[in-house]
Structure formats: structure tokens, C-alpha cells
Amino acid sequence: MTPDLSPDTAPAPGTAPQAPVLTVRDLNVVYQSDPPVHAVRDISFTLHRGEILGLAGESGCGKSTLAYAINRLHEWPADVTSGSVTFHDRDGQDLDLLALGREQLRRFRWSKLSMVFQGAMNALNPVTSVRAQLEDVLTTHRPGMSKQDRRARCAEVLELVGVEPRRMNSYPHELSGGMRQRVMIAMALLLDPQVMIMDEPTTALDVLVQRGILREILRLREELGFAVIFITHDLPLLLELSDRIAVMLRGEIVECEAAETIYRQPRHPYARRLLDSFPRLTGERGAFLRDDGQAAPKTVRDTTPTGPGAADREQVRSDGGVR
């Protein structure tokens, strides 16, 4: 497959061109309310393998509507009125996501593309153990997997996100918010997806816990090679995390560039305004924070727990009065 390297879709400078994993073309989503709300307008972009694409924009600009429509999680009155979303599978097959039937969709979600949304930690079933909830995903999607392999895989993903596997026997209420969100990320990783959509995944958490989780996401992306669409209104965070950033305004992408270009030379007046609204970007931190060619930003590396047990340490730190 020939990579799509048109200006609005090219990977960040200095990174090897990667094949696309997701292509969105001229997507329109309208809430058929009275009056109708045209929440996503003619949006086009390409997500490349292993890339972190940040989606920035103020509240109500359509970020979540776009994310839900890509994954077909939108519900009436949200209506995809036109456009296409194509998933380019590892095996070379192209999937037209808007045309998938219910059963195909069920197989597609979690296994090829998974989503972690804001407050996902509250989506865990309070009366079922973490183990049962993780295993349930495997039982549904990998019915031939042995019990032993299921357990091993659940322990493996928990370890990947820094949660001690012994926590598997816990119930959600026994875990801190940060740990629960890590469990949700583990669940999203279970089936080795090629794309993860993260919609404000850490917004509800305190800054240290948030940093720890973001660092883990960056490390996992390096290790496992999935691509991420990361949604937040927190532009400084996106500048640290993303390869490219798409800036949304009233349902449209008004600028899509390498994170560093958005930071140094934002073209669109709204992107400039958005940058100016974060004083710390132009204040004492001054310089752009990413290492050249490296995903892990300095600020994240310096301040956060990592590895198995990191979430437990977060718990201790939270209990120890960090908040």
C-alpha cells in the first residue's frame, strides 16, 4: 500500500513514513435534534501506524462526536450523513467501518480498534472482579483460548500498565481511580489493537497519576506499535504527547501539523489563540518539551512512577497526601 503523504496527512518531520492505519474522508455528523447540530464538518485525516495524533479544541467543538462516529459508537440523534472511515488492517485488507454489520462491528471493536473514554474507570462493573471483567473480553473475542492462557494474558496486560497482577482478584471499589483507569487501558490492550482512541482518558485524575498513565501509554506505544488518537482540550499535554496535532473548531479541523510546528508556527488564528490561552507554554517552560525523535517528554519522565506496581505506588502517594 502506498502511504498517503499529502500535506494534511504526512507524518511528523524526522519520523519514518508509516503506512496508514485509518483514513477518514469528508466525514459529516449531524445531531438530528431541533434545530439540528452539524457537529462534525467535512473532516478528513489519516492516522499512520504507531502515530499519536492529538485532537485539540475547546469544549463542544465536536471531538467526542468524531471519536464515537469513527468507532460507530454514536447513537441517535447523532447521524453520520456522509463520508467514509477506512481501517487498513495489518494483513493488507481495507475495512469500510461505516458499512460493517452488527456482528462484524462486534468483532472489530476491541480487537482492531479500542477506545478509552473519560470516566471509563467508572464503567467497570462494581460487583465483578477485575479478573472476571478482563477474562470476559477474551472469552468473547477468543473463544478457543484456554483458561490458563486467558489468565496469563490478563496478568500480562495488567503488568504492562503497571498494575500488580495480584490485583486481578480485586473489585473496582478496592482500587484507586488511577488504578481503575489503568485497568481500563489494560482491557483496551488485551486483544492487541492497532488503534486506540483515548478521549480525555486521564482528565478526572490528579496530575501525578495522570502523568504516570501518560508515560505508560507512550512506552506501550513504543513497545507495541499501536496508533493513538488522543483527545483533550489540554493543548500543552498534547504538545508533549503527540506526533501530530489536529486543531478542531466548530466541527472542522482547521489545522493539522506536527506538534512542534503547531507549537512554533501555528498558522490558523484559532490555533494561535489556543496556544496563547496556556500561559505556561510561553512562560518559564519556554522551550518545546519533546526530545527530538523521542516520544517521552522530559517532564513526564522525571516525575512519575512506572513499571509493575506503579499504580500501587500511586495509591500510596495519593494516600500520603499528594492531592
- As given in the structure block, the three cell numbers for residue 147 are 483458561
Residue type, 75: E
Verify binding: residue 202, ligand ATP, rule CB under 6 A. Answer: no
Which positions from 23 through 62 interact with ligand ATP, judged by CB under 6 A? 31, 33, 37, 39, 57, 59-62
**Contact status, residue 198 vs residue 114, Cβ threshold 8 Å:** no
Select 9 or 65, whichever has its Cβ closest to ligand ATP.
Answer: 65
Verify binding: residue 131, ligand ATP, rule CB under 6 A. Answer: no
- Residue 57 C-beta: closest distance to ligand ATP, Å: 6
Binding letters toward ligand ATP, positions 161-180, x by CB under 6 A:
--------------------
Select 185 or 247, whichever has its Cβ closest to ligand ATP.
Answer: 247
How many residues are recorded in the chain?
Answer: 323
Verify binding: residue 65, ligand ATP, rule CB under 6 A. Answer: yes
How far apart CA 5 and CA 245 sit, in angstroms, is: 16
How far apart CA 303 and CA 113 sit, in angstroms, is: 30
Select 63 or 180, whichever has its Cβ closest to ligand ATP.
Answer: 63
- Residue 248 C-beta: closest distance to ligand ATP, Å: 7
- Residue 265 C-beta: closest distance to ligand ATP, Å: 24
Select 76 or 127, whichever has its Cβ closest to ligand ATP.
Answer: 76
Q: How far is CA 148 from CA 153, 226, 251, in A?
A: 9, 26, 47
Nearest alpha carbon to residue 185 among 215, 147, 208, 152: 215
How far apart CA 27 and CA 48 sit, in angstroms, is: 18
**Contact status, residue 229 vs residue 217, Cβ threshold 8 Å:** no
- Residue 300 C-beta: closest distance to ligand ATP, Å: 22
User: From the list 64, 202, 210, 304, which residue makes contact with ligand ATP (rule: CB under 6 A)?
Assistant: 64
How far apart CA 296 and CA 306 sit, in angstroms, is: 13
Nearest alpha carbon to residue 256 among 246, 270, 271: 246
Verify binding: residue 74, ligand ATP, rule CB under 6 A. Answer: no
Verify binding: residue 233, ligand ATP, rule CB under 6 A. Answer: yes
Verify binding: residue 288, ligand ATP, rule CB under 6 A. Answer: no
Chain residues that interact with ligand ATP, rule: CB under 6 A: 31, 33, 37, 39, 57, 59-65, 77, 233
